[in-house]
């Protein structure tokens, strides 16, 4: 029987797409959607449209803190990409003391209530240093205490053929009364893949009628600034005329007006976009469209994001790359199916 998946903090469906498309050649080892929850209305609408169009009632829009878990159907697997706002290195890093920090505990609660056979939890790499490292220690201890053997690993998705340098801490847990051991999938099978952002965005060309492909209008000053910035450079490393330089004191974020290097994976796609933090095309003086950003996150062109342009940009930036999630779910399915595959040592440090 397929594994019934429940999701908390489901986002627009990057994890779900990877789960539902995980294929190890045996239909008995597959994953189906059971239910999902997210606090953002547009995000839930996107998830319903693309993941469970025929069962929209299985996506519960609302704050997880007020979600009645007793109304949710039984599950065999749980995924929760608990909010990263308080753990990100771009921000105040409040960790457990922040508004979002303790939300992981609702994932732990779901594990205790539903006792799924396995789970996948995802967060930013900055979680490792939050609260002096104590936040991660507390989270891992709570997941173990819920009854799971856990394998935390810092996945560098560009090493798995994804056209984006995106580093995420992902924890796979298997219930401790099940005699199955998870192994982190090796990056070796993906070594020869062309994961340049040029190939991701241009091959094949984005269809003229693709969803979410509207261009962002750039001011004349931004256009002039970008014309002085070479591929791979940003506003602080480029040779800009004085009138185009940014008057910023203190920290100089490397992604400000940074143009992509077409021959390399993209830098990290984020949900922000103001103040020069869009991702900028290597040849044209403009920000990427949301569809181009979605390609860097390996969403198919048929994936339709619901909401205004700003909402869609945020959804795409907060997602897990579809194909990256698929690789991890296929590794889990192989473990349960008893199929050997190439693994690598689990590590949480760079």
Q: 333 near 29, Cβ under 8 Å?
A: yes
- Evaluate if residue 98 carries a pLDDT over 50: no
pLDDT at 105: 87
User: By the 8 A CB rule, do 202 and 289 touch?
Assistant: no
pLDDT at 249: 66
Token pair of 132 as six digits: 């002096």
Percentage of the chain exceeding pLDDT 90: 77
Supply the pLDDT for residue 319: 95
The answer to whether 47 and 84 have CB atoms below 8 angstroms apart is no
Q: Mean pLDDT score of the chain, rounded to an integer?
A: 91
Least confident of 181-190, 206-215, 264-273: 264-273
- Of 29, 42, 35, nearest to 59 (Cα)? 35
Residue bearing the bigger pLDDT, 277 or 250 = 277
Cα distances (Å, whole numbers) of residue 114 to 76, 128, 189: 8, 27, 35
Inform me whether the pLDDT recorded for 68 exceeds 70. Answer: yes
pLDDT in tens, 226-270: 999 999 999 888 999 888 988 776 556 678 899 999 999 999 999
Over range 22-35, report the average pLDDT.
Answer: 97
Query: Which whole number is the average pLDDT over 115-119?
Result: 98
Instruction: Kindly tell me if the per-residue pLDDT of 99 is higher than 50.
Output: no
Residues with a known catalytic role: 84
Question: What is the reported pLDDT for 93?
Answer: 43
Q: What is the rounded average pLDDT of the residues 192-197?
A: 96
- Give the pLDDT confidence score for residue 208 in this predicted structure: 86
Indicate the pairing of strand 3-8 with strand 77-80: parallel
* CA nearest neighbour of 131 among 92, 80, 171, 172: 92
Given a contact cutoff of 8 angstroms between Cβ atoms, the answer to whether 95 and 86 are in contact is yes
Q: Contact 178/141 with Cβ under 8 angstroms?
A: no
- Whether the Cβ atoms of residue 129 and residue 91 lie closer than 8 Å to each other: no
- Report how far apart, in Å, the C-alpha atoms of 88 and of each of 66, 92, 186, 276, 342 are: 25, 8, 26, 19, 31
pLDDT at residue 154, as a whole number: 95
Query: What mean pLDDT comes out for the span 100-128?
Result: 86
Contacts of 269 (CB under 8 A, 6+ apart): 164, 166, 279, 293, 296, 297, 316, 317
Residue by residue, DSSP assigns 60-104 as: EES-GGG--GGGSPP-SEEEE----TTT-SSS---GGGSSSGGGH
- Does position 101 have pLDDT exceeding 50, yes or no? no
- For 304, residues 6+ apart whose C-beta sits below 8 A from its C-beta are 46, 49, 50, 211, 212
Q: Is residue 150 predicted with pLDDT exceeding 90?
A: yes
The pLDDT of residue 83 is: 66
Mean pLDDT of 11-33: 97
Inform me whether the pLDDT recorded for 95 exceeds 50. no
pLDDT value, residue 130:
64
- Of the given ranges (38-52, 71-85, 183-197), which has the lowest mean pLDDT? 71-85
Q: Tell me the average pLDDT across 117-144.
A: 82
Spatial separation of the C-alpha atoms in residues 6 and 331, rounded to whole Å: 18
* CA–CA distance, 317 with 325 (Å, rounded to integer): 15
Residue 321 has pLDDT above 90, yes or no: yes
Over residues 120-137, mean pLDDT: 76
Burial of 71 (0-12, 13-18, 19+ CB in 10 A): exposed
- φ and ψ at 336, to 5 degrees? -70, -30
Q: Which tokens go with 5? A: 């998946």
Sequential DSSP letters for 303-316: ----S-HHHHHHHH
pLDDT, residue 181, reads: 98
- Mean predicted confidence (pLDDT) in 39-68: 97
Q: How far apart are CA 218 and CA 282, in angstroms?
A: 15
Q: What is the mean pLDDT of residues 163-178?
A: 96
Mean pLDDT of 309-320: 95
Q: How confident is the model at residue 333 (pLDDT cuts 50, 70, 90)?
A: very high
Per-residue exposure over 230-248, b if at least 16 CB sit within 10 Å of its own CB, e if not: ebbbbbbebebeeebeeee
Sign of the Cα torsion 66, 69, 71, 72 reads positive
Domains and CATH numbers, the chain: 3-193+320-344 (3.40.50.150)
Q: What is the pLDDT of residue 133?
A: 67
What integer pLDDT is reported at residue 97 of this predicted model? 44
> pLDDT by residue (tens digit) across 302-312?
999 999 999 99
């Amino acid at each position: 029987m397929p594994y019934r998946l429940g999701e908390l903090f489901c986002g627009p469906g990057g994890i779900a797409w990877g789960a539902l498309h995980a294929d190890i050649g045996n239909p008995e080892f597959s994953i189906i959607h059971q239910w999902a929850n997210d606090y953002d209305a547009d995000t839930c609408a996107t998830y319903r449209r693309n993941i469970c169009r025929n069962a929209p009632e299985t996506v519960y829009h609302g704050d997880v803190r007020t979600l009645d878990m007793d109304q949710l159907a039984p599950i065999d697997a749980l995924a929760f990409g608990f909010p990263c706002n308080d753990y990100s290195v771009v921000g105040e890093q409040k960790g457990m003391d922040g508004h979002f920090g303790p939300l992981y505990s609702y994932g732990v609660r779901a594990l205790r209530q539903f006792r799924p056979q396995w789970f996948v939890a995802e967060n930013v790499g900055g979680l490792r240093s939050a609260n002096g490292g104590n936040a991660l220690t507390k989270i891992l201890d709570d997941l173990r205490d819920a009854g799971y053997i856990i394998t935390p690993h810092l996945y560098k998705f560009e090493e798995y053929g994804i056209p984006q340098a995106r580093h995420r801490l992902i924890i796979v847990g298997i219930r401790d009364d099940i005699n199955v051991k998870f192994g982190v999938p090796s990056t070796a099978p993906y070594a020869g893949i062309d994961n340049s952002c040029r190939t991701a965005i241009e091959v094949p060309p984005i269809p003229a009628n693709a969803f979410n492909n509207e261009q962002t209008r750039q001011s004349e000053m931004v256009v002039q600034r970008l014309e002085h910035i070479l591929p791979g450079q940003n506003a602080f490393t480029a040779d800009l005329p004085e009138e185009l330089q940014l008057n910023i004191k203190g920290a100089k974020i490397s992604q400000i007006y940074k143009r992509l290097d077409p021959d390399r994976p993209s830098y990290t796609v984020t949900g922000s976009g103001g103040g020069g933090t869009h991702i900028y095309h290597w040849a044209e003086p403009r920000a990427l469209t949301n569809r181009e950003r979605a390609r860097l996150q390996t969403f198919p062109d048929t994936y339709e994001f619901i909401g205004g342009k700003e909402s869609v940009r945020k959804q795409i930036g907060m997602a897990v790359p579809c194909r990256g999630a698929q690789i991890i779910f296929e590794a889990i399915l192989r473990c349960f199916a008893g199929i050997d595959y190439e693994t690598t040592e689990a590590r949480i440090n760079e």
